[in-house]
A = this chain, B = another copy of it.
Amino acid sequence: MPTDAHATSRVRPADELRQVALEQFSTVGFAATSLQQIADHAGYSKSSVLYHFASKEALLESAIGPAIDDLEVLLGDFVAGGRSPEARAVFIERFVDFLLGNRLAVHTFVNQGQSLLDIPVIQRANTAIRGIADSICADDATVVENIRFGVALAGAAYMLVAGATFRDEDHQFDDVEVRAALITVLSELLLPADGRSTR
């Protein structure tokens, strides 16, 4: 018997499963999310999930892989360009847009990147993050610089998903406001300011 729960759905099943899985992975955690839960949320059976994706790991890879691709492009462009304050400003804006456009994926590998080190796509993500850190902070960067960078990136990533937990339902932020605020705060942190050295 066909279940018309998703019979009329024109969304491709694989995409739908990716989205549901990403929501679970980012909020509940990869290990804590079972294939059965993903299947239930998406309206499929567990077997169907494993038909579209060879394994739970492959599903994770498929869900956050594109975001890592974007991040690597972002990193490449930044490394190719200069490290002037102007270039940094452009990078910050693009980086915030990246965070907003891939918030679930970002939250997943930022929060769980250290516990999933044996998964290839996570290794790719960690490498990219380290690359960005190396690019922003010179080799002779001070501890303060490294802390500043880590606080900025991790804090920004956290605010996009978990931060919503601490807001009332009717006090949720507007994405446009969040974008502007994140750019402001990250600029304060990562751009040279009067009387402060960034390297």
Contacts of A143 in B (CB 8 A): 173-174, 177-178, 180-181
Q: Which residue of B lies closest to A158 (CB)?
A: B154
Is A50 an interface residue, CB under 8 A from the partner?
no
Majority SS at the chain A contact face: helix
* A184 CA / B196 CA spacing, docked (Å): 11
Is A111 an interface residue, CB under 8 A from the partner?
yes
> Contact between B144 and A181 (Cβ–Cβ < 8 Å)?
yes
> Contact between B158 and A150 (Cβ–Cβ < 8 Å)?
yes
Interfacial residues of chain A within 144-192, with CB under 8 A of chain B in the complex: 144, 146-148, 150-156, 158-159, 162-163, 165-166, 173-174, 177-178, 180-182, 184-186, 188-189
> Contact between A155 and B151 (Cβ–Cβ < 8 Å)?
yes
Q: Which of B29, B130, B155, B182 contacts A166 (CB 8 A)?
A: B130
> Contact between B173 and A163 (Cβ–Cβ < 8 Å)?
no
* A28 CA / B113 CA spacing, docked (Å): 10
> Contact between B28 and A147 (Cβ–Cβ < 8 Å)?
no
Q: Taking the nearest CB of chain B, how far is it from the CB of A158, in angstroms?
A: 4
> Contact between A165 and B29 (Cβ–Cβ < 8 Å)?
no
Q: Which residue of B lies closest to A151 (CB)?
A: B155
Q: Taking the nearest CB of chain B, how far is it from the CB of A148, in angstroms?
A: 5
Q: Which of B142, B165, B174, B181 contacts A114 (CB 8 A)?
A: B165
> Contact between B150 and A112 (Cβ–Cβ < 8 Å)?
no
Q: Taking the nearest CB of chain B, how far is it from the CB of A31, in angstroms?
A: 3
A26-67 vs B, Cβ < 8 Å mask (1 yes, 0 no): 011111100000000000000000000000000000000000
Q: Which residue of B lies closest to A166 (CB)?
A: B130
> Contact between A159 and B154 (Cβ–Cβ < 8 Å)?
yes
Residue contacts A-B, CB under 8 angstroms, 5 given: A27-B114, A30-B32, A133-B166, A154-B162, A155-B156
New contact pairs (7) apart from A31-B31, A144-B181, CB-CB < 8 Å: A29-B32, A29-B112, A32-B32, A130-B166, A143-B178, A147-B159, A188-B189
